[in-house]
């Protein structure tokens, strides 16, 4: 009997130790690896292009002859495309692919670029917010400190957030300061490029410790602050739980997801939590009228019902490929990966319908062109591609694919409404609820 008790204690102790290993690995995966934005994943799956469903057309290609950074953004004003590299901004016409002008900067560009109807904004290594006119000349600059997230603009002002938690609003015409607002900084903040969101003259932003704030952009006053994903754990690394992605806002609510914790729907009026569930993402999500599309830290992609937080589908085919934030295009959820592949997922069931390789490196967030309804992609190596997918006919080049290497699944993913369909041990065990 005594021996049986001893054996039970030993087995319990071993089980306890094994249960501790998973979260440690997951913390490293979700936090430490997330900083390595341009790193190649450790165990990427081998891929082949898929042409048997829809034909992806490359309408135009070229190169800016300069490399960029993964955290920078391309932007456009009408048919003009603005591409930032580490030391320059290039303006190109989409109609004829001709370079209109190139602005060379004396130091590194660290965030941006963003555009209003008349100006282009970026922040440099020295901590200055700069405004370029559409002829490529500096209109004004203002000191803002270290900025990683891109500037946003609304109602005649441009707003930035510094890494030390200061939100600043500047007059879009002359760069004069409208207001500043400072939030308490986290003990161990994640250096992220999360975008700010403006909706109906209200600024929404995810901040450290699993919080979201709402600020009036007219006078910079705080409307509310709420915690939707409370940090847990003993060490600062374990408690590091920032909102590193863009907050989604629609007519009814706002939606936020933390880098290691929860996804939640929040009332716009008072910050009340409408629903919350365990799910983590560093890159973030997009939405349509009734669903959220999320890239989990492992590379799996989720479609979640906005109303009741149920998982509609989950695609895990692209794990460990540094998958981008989803982009909704026509009838597809489009993601890119570290190897320059574009993956077109069926909007309704999440199956990969078509895949094409357009670059050898990471792709920046795409633009949807105004007139032609095409996707414009630029890689961090500077090559660009204008892409369209044919919905009317299928490509007949089925023999182009190597069936043995092709990753394409028809398997059904069982959905349990009461369990989290997450890929992480932390999420599935719901440590953060």
Give tens-digit pLDDT for 182-221.
987 665 555 555 689 999 999 999 887 788 999 999 999 9
pLDDT confidence bin for 415, thresholds 50/70/90: very low
Dihedrals phi, psi of 16, to nearest 5 degrees: -60, -45
Give how many domains the chain has, as a whole number: 1
Q: How far apart are CA 267 and CA 380, in angstroms?
A: 37
What mean pLDDT do residues 299-323 have? 92
Q: What is the pLDDT of residue 23?
A: 37
Residue 195 lies in a domain: no
> Do the domain assignments include residue 26?
yes
Tens-place pLDDT, residues 270-297: 999 999 988 888 888 999 999 999 999 8
368-to-125, 158, 329 alpha-carbon distances in Å: 29, 22, 8
Assigned domain for 275 exists: no
Phi, psi angle pair for 277, to nearest 5°: -150, 160
pTM: 0.80
Q: Are 224 and 270 in contact (CB under 8 A)?
A: yes
Angle of CA points 342, 347, 349, to nearest 5°: 110
Mean pLDDT of the chain: 80
Would the pLDDT of 419 be above 60?
Answer: no
- Any domain includes 5: yes
Asked whether residue 22 is domain-assigned, the answer is yes
Identify the pLDDT of residue 2. Answer: 58
Query: For 218-238, what is the mean pLDDT?
Result: 78
Residue 355 inside a domain? The answer is no
Look at 396 and 311; give whichever has higher pLDDT.
311
d(CA 52, CA 68): 33
Least confident range from 16-25, 205-214, 260-269, 359-368: namely: 16-25
Asked if 341 and 335 count as a contact pair (C-beta separation under 8 A), the reply is: no
Enclosing domain of residue 9: 1-36
- Tell me, what's the pLDDT at 261? 75
371 found inside a domain:
no
Considering the domain boundaries, does residue 349 fall inside one? no
């Amino acid at each position: 009997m005594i021996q049986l008790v001893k054996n039970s204690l030993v087995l319990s102790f071993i089980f306890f130790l094994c249960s501790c290993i998973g979260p440690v690995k997951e913390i490293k995966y979700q936090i430490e690896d997330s900083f390595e934005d341009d790193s190649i994943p450790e165990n990427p799956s081998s891929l082949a292009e898929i042409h048997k469903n829809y034909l992806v057309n490359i309408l135009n290609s070229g190169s800016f002859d300069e490399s960029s950074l993964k955290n920078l953004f391309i932007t456009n004003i009408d048919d003009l495309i603005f591409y930032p590299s580490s030391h320059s901004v290039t303006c190109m016409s989409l109609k004829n692919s001709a370079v209109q002008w190139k602005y060379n900067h004396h130091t590194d560009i660290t965030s941006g670029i963003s555009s209003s109807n008349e100006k282009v904004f970026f922040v440099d290594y020295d901590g200055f917010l700069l405004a370029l006119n559409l002829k490529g000349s500096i209109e004004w600059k203002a000191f803002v400190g270290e900025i990683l997230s891109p500037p946003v603009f609304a109602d005649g002002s441009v707003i930035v957030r510094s890494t030390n938690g200061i939100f600043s609003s500047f007059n879009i015409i002359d760069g004069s300061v409208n207001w500043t607002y400072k939030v308490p900084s986290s003990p161990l903040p994640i250096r992220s490029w999360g975008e700010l969101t403006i909706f109906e003259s209200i600024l929404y932003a995810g901040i450290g410790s699993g919080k979201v704030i709402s600020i009036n952009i007219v006078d910079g006053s705080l409307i509310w602050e709420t915690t939707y994903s409370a940090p847990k754990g003993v060490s600062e690394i374990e408690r590091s739980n920032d909102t590193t992605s863009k907050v989604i806002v629609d007519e009814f609510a706002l939606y936020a997801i933390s880098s290691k914790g929860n996804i939640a729907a929040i009332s716009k009026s008072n910050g009340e939590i409408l629903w919350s569930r365990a799910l983590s993402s560093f890159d973030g999500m997009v939405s349509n009228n009734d669903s959220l599309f999320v890239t989990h830290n492992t590379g799996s992609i989720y479609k979640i019902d906005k109303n009741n937080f149920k998982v509609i589908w989950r695609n895990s085919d692209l794990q460990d490929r540094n998958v981008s934030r989803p982009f909704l295009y026509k009838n597809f959820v489009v993601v890119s990966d570290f190897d320059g592949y574009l993956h077109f997922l069926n909007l309704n069931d999440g199956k990969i319908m078509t895949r094409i390789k357009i670059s050898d490196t990471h792709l920046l967030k795409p633009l949807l062109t105004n007139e032609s309804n095409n996707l414009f992609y630029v890689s961090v190596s500077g090559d660009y591609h204008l892409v369209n997918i044919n919905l009317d006919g299928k490509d007949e080049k089925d023999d182009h694919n190597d069936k043995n290497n092709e990753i394409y699944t028809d398997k059904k993913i069982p959905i349990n409404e009461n369990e989290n369909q997450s890929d992480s041990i932390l999420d599935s065990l719901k440590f953060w609820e």
